[in-house]
Chains A and B, each alone.
Chain A
Amino acid sequence: MLFTWFMLAGFILLLAPQKLTSKFQFAFAHIFRWPLSIGRNISLSAREQPQLTEVVSRAKYNQLQNHLANLTEELNEERQKVKELSGMRNRLPLEGAGLILAEVITASIEGHIINRGENDGLRKGQFVLGDNSIIGTISDVSPRTAKVELVTETTSNIAVEIGGLKAVIQGDGKNSAKVQLVSTKHKIKIGDKVYACKKPGLLDAAMIIGTVAECTRDNENPLLWDITVESASDIQNLTNVAVIIMNPKK
């Protein structure tokens, strides 16, 4: 009898909408945010390799490289705009955007939970930055916490620009992502940068997502590339992220 009741409760939880049941997960993450953060910091520091004092850390190096890539792209765009729209003054990329810094409470391949939520102005669909690169979008929000859908998740679909070509990137669930439906007539090479496209109200400037790590002909359709993109930041080891909020309320 007891077993039947528990099974019934289990099926109710299983069939209840995710929006409702995720409140349990958010509540747990919020209540135990301190021990979870401490545990996570300990495991991250245990994983870190000893660094030489004369060189910057890999994370810092990646962060600066991504910053440089973003600035270069912004510069190129600005040059383009100057050429095309001479006389018209545009506002700078991300000028009107606010960045909400958040700590990662729990990190997993199936998405990160961060310690900012609806009360801080977070909404579904907003882009999330890690080490100056796009790592995903907000997929679920509670008043004080939110879930980040990572670019590496299979459910993630983000419009991107690669070698001047518009495409869609989808996660492969294995810490990398694939750029979909790019014809082999376009020249794509390893090391090419992949940028998230502008999205009105969510992203004002193209920002780096990652670099092409592998580019081969698709086995199923030889007319298309099979492009594997490696994230520009070490997503699983991030401790802090920033959520882009366009036109924040002052």
Chain B
Amino acid sequence: MHWLRFAVFILIVTVLQASLVDVVAVSRLDIKPDFLLILLVFFSIHCNQQEAIITSFTIGFAADIIGSAMGVRIISFGLFGTLLAYLHGVINIKKMPYQSFAIFISGLLTGILAHFLTLLKSQPTGANAYTVVFLTSVYSSFVGPFLFLPTAWLMHIKTYRFGRR
């Protein structure tokens, strides 16, 4: 893993997530894809377990920085990113539909845990929190697998090619 490359890449994606991603927001609830969630799944299934733990917590920290409360995403992303990395040791998530499903489930779980942790911290949460979590997961799961190849190319990570196995 090229850690400097990773740090710069995460920084750029975090800035994009906080500003430019509004361009592709849909509906009155402002649903937009969560690029950090997509990266979480990408690194969890393309890195070894040690690297996956570090990347998951780092991406969680980045998500906290642009979120409403600190500590919420770092825990949820860290926990489910690590779980996904361990799960990937048992089940290979190579095909696009599986990757899409992994993003969707990770989005749901991290979103719900983050919501509860936000409540625990006595911070305000959106009125339609569950709807937003669900729709964001759906949107991310559609977009995510298409971003895996460019991400792998940028990060110089060897990836699986769809349809060959």
Are A36 and B15 in touch, CB under 8 angstroms?
Answer: yes
Are A14 and B71 in touch, CB under 8 angstroms?
Answer: yes
- Given A14-B75, A154-B127, A172-B127 in contact, is the A32-B15 Cβ separation under 8 Å? yes
A-B CB contact pairs (8 Å), 22 listed:
A2-B50, A3-B78, A6-B53, A7-B78, A10-B60, A10-B78, A14-B71, A14-B121, A15-B121, A16-B70, A21-B70, A24-B64, A28-B65, A35-B19, A36-B15, A39-B18, A42-B19, A42-B23, A43-B20, A43-B21, A43-B22, A43-B25
Determine the distance from Cα of A154 to Cα of B119 in the docked complex, in whole angstroms. 13
Which residues 54-84 of B sit at the A interface, judged by CB distance below 8 A? Answer: 54, 57, 60, 64-66, 68-72, 74-75, 78-79, 82
Are B18 and A24 in touch, CB under 8 angstroms?
Answer: no
Are B123 and A18 in touch, CB under 8 angstroms?
Answer: yes
- Closest CB pairs A-B (n = 8): A39-B19, A14-B71, A13-B71, A21-B70, A173-B127, A43-B22, A39-B20, A10-B75
Check if A38 is an interface residue, CB within 8 A of chain B.
Answer: yes
Which residue on chain A has the smallest CB distance to residue B73? A10
Are B75 and A7 in touch, CB under 8 angstroms?
Answer: yes
Name B's interface SS: helix
Chain A: number of interface residues, binned into ranges = 35 or more
Check if B117 is an interface residue, CB within 8 A of chain A.
Answer: yes
What is the distance, in angstroms, from B10's C-beta to the closest C-beta of chain A? 12
What mask results when residues 20 to 61 of chain A are scored 1 for a CB within 8 Å of chain B, else 0?
011011001000100111111011101100000000000000
Check if A192 is an interface residue, CB within 8 A of chain B.
Answer: no
- In the complex, which residues of chain B have a beta carbon less than 8 angstroms from the beta carbon of A109? 30, 126
- In the complex, which residues of chain B have a beta carbon less than 8 angstroms from the beta carbon of A12? 71
Check if B124 is an interface residue, CB within 8 A of chain A.
Answer: yes
* Number of A-B pairs, beta carbon distance below 8 Å: 115
Are A11 and B20 in touch, CB under 8 angstroms?
Answer: no
Are B23 and A236 in touch, CB under 8 angstroms?
Answer: no
Check if A77 is an interface residue, CB within 8 A of chain B.
Answer: no
- In the complex, which residues of chain B have a beta carbon less than 8 angstroms from the beta carbon of A173? 124-128
Q: B22's contact among A3, A13, A35, A47, by CB below 8 Å, is which?
A: A47
- In the complex, which residues of chain B have a beta carbon less than 8 angstroms from the beta carbon of A18? 69-70, 121, 123
Determine the distance from Cα of A236 to Cα of B53 in the docked complex, in whole angstroms. 35
What mask results when residues 67 to 111 of chain A are scored 1 for a CB within 8 Å of chain B, else 0?
000000000000000000000000000000000000000101111
Check if A175 is an interface residue, CB within 8 A of chain B.
Answer: yes
Which residues 109-132 of B sit at the A interface, judged by CB distance below 8 A? Answer: 117, 120-121, 123-128
Determine the distance from Cα of A155 to Cα of B66 in the docked complex, in whole angstroms. 19
- In the complex, which residues of chain B have a beta carbon less than 8 angstroms from the beta carbon of A43? 19-23, 25
Are B126 and A3 in touch, CB under 8 angstroms?
Answer: no
Which residues 145-185 of A sit at the B interface, judged by CB distance below 8 A? Answer: 153-155, 172-175
What is the distance, in angstroms, from B73's C-beta to the closest C-beta of chain A? 9
Are A106 and B126 in touch, CB under 8 angstroms?
Answer: no
Check if B2 is an interface residue, CB within 8 A of chain A.
Answer: no
Q: B71's contact among A10, A46, A155, by CB below 8 Å, is which?
A: A10
Most B C-beta atoms less than 10 A away, residue of A25, A44, A154: A25
Are A25 and B65 in touch, CB under 8 angstroms?
Answer: yes
Are A6 and B22 in touch, CB under 8 angstroms?
Answer: no
What is the distance, in angstroms, from A243's C-beta to the closest C-beta of chain B? 21
Are B124 and A154 in touch, CB under 8 angstroms?
Answer: yes
Determine the distance from Cα of A22 to Cα of B72 in the docked complex, in whole angstroms. 13
Check if B28 is an interface residue, CB within 8 A of chain A.
Answer: yes
- In the complex, which residues of chain A have a beta carbon less than 8 angstroms from the beta carbon of B125? 154, 173
Are A174 and B127 in touch, CB under 8 angstroms?
Answer: yes
What is the distance, in angstroms, from A2's C-beta to the closest C-beta of chain B? 5
What mask results when residues 95 to 130 of chain A are scored 1 for a CB within 8 Å of chain B, else 0?
000000000001011110000000000000000000
Which residue on chain B has the smallest CB distance to residue A32? B15
What mask results when residues 1 to 28 of chain B are scored 1 for a CB within 8 Å of chain A, else 0?
0000000000000111011111101001
